[in-house]
Chain A
Amino acid sequence: MQVYDPTAPMAAPAEDLRQRVADLSGKVIGFIDNTKPNFNLLAQDLGELLLERYGVKAVIQKRKRSVATAAPNEVLEELARECDLVITGSGD
């Protein structure tokens, strides 16, 4: 018999957004803190390393309201505008 497929095509992964950065020198790096304990400390240490060892120009650290919600649009827009690369966290 013929039946309907109940599924929907999933949104296509945005592969074309994945632009690699050749080197970090002079770049602005963003962090989105997922609010899990110690992420801020990890990001702080990584930020210092990036500045000292890799010649990064600046590090911007932003925080989500909580782990299960997306970062607010203003934050995403600001990071997209200011940064060459953004690092975020998932899980603990």
Chain B
Amino acid sequence: MNRPLSPLTRATLVEAPDDLDELIEFFHARRWSDGLPIVPPTRERVARMLSCTQRKPDEIIAKVAPGFGEATVERIAINAVMAGCRPDYLPVLIAATQAMSAPEFNLQGIQATTNPVAVWLIINGPIAEQLSVNAGPNCLGQGTVANATLGRALRLIMQNIGGALPGDMDRATHGQPGKFSFCCAENEAQSPWPPLHVERGFKREQSTVTVVGAAGTHNMNTHADNADELLRVIADTMMFPASNDYWIGGEPWLVLGPQHAAILHAGGLSKAEVKRRLWEESKMPARRMAARELQRTQAVRESKIGPINEDTMLAAADGPEGIGILVAGGPGTHSVYVASFGDARAVTREVIA
């Protein structure tokens, strides 16, 4: 019954100042940026970006919540230019826009919530190397064009096409730095296990992007040198009473550093077994929650897991497969716990030029 959208699927050109400083202010004044300077999306730059896909500029890839603006290939390209993306990044952003618009990702919730949730992009397959997406040292930090600009472009798409402006439709209490960009590749070369996209049903030679609703990153520095001890301290870190994963039954993620992954593998553990052990060992007594969280947990989870009282041992996900595992990062005794929004499920889409 919605009124049909206006047929303006092609983007419009607007007159803007020639002076770069003034042009940047022009974008800030319209709230078309994330607070950082943008690269001007001129006709030439956008055309160069569009030359890296076989899709037509007016193809609608998705309608982006919460405003449900039409993400055409052209509008994705415009925001990609603004974020500083190289032209050959475009197919990744098209796949990412498809992925985040799948119903199970619950983008409407992610965009509008008070939670700090950011959209984490994980790149797998040959494209990661082709685009030099960092999967090694400092992969979640600064210093790599692809990691910095792919996540930034997706955020601009969420703001400009989805319409979620901070303090307006985006109701985040604090947000988090990951809302500027949150993107890495899997360190497939140093992982002892099949990579994420293979686990999720793709072939190793396919390229994919996976989106995750990530509430934040929590570092785990441990010199544990055997699998049992390492799993114990990771599981203990996963538990915290003010966690969305525990009251909703979420999808917590772990970014295992290659050293930690090697220890678990040397202990004879497959990825599925690591998940199973962590799921069991990270069960938290419901009494650690505040009374109101316990009420919320009962309201949301009892239909799935039966009666819940203070003595119930709550798992962070509905089942072991609900825990996400990525091997990434450089040398060091660190892994990262990525608590989730809770009410979103990761989605993977193939990257196709």
Residues on A lying within 8 angstroms of B by beta carbon are 1-12, 14, 16-17, 35-37, 65-70
Contact = CB atoms under 8 A, between A and B. Distances in A.
B29 interface: no
* Main SS class of interface, A: loop
A10 B278 CA distance: 43
B11 A5 contact: yes
Given A8-B161, A35-B296, A37-B295, A2 B13 contact: yes
B300 A7 contact: no
Given A14-B2, A16-B3, A37-B295, A8 B300 contact: no
Contacts of A10: 67-69, 163
B192 interface: no
Contacts of A14: 1-3
- State the 7 A-B residue pairs at the shortest beta-carbon distance, nearest first: A8-B69, A68-B109, A10-B67, A11-B68, A68-B343, A6-B160, A8-B161
A10 B12 CA distance: 15
A8 B16 CA distance: 18
Interface in B1-37: 1-3, 5-6, 8, 11-18, 23, 32
Nearest to A7: B160
A11 B14 contact: no
B40 interface: yes
Given A6-B78, A8-B161, A69 B14 contact: no
Contacts, number: 110
B8 A9 contact: yes
Interface residues of B, number: 52
Nearest to B41: A4
B32 A6 contact: yes
B42 A11 contact: no
B295 A4 contact: no
Nearest to A11: B68
A7 B161 CA distance: 5
Interface string B64-95: 10011111101100110010000000000000
B248 A66 contact: yes
Nearest to A66: B300
A3 B71 contact: no
B174 interface: no
Contacts of B64: 8
A2 B16 contact: yes
A12 B299 CA distance: 34
A6 to B, nearest CB: 4
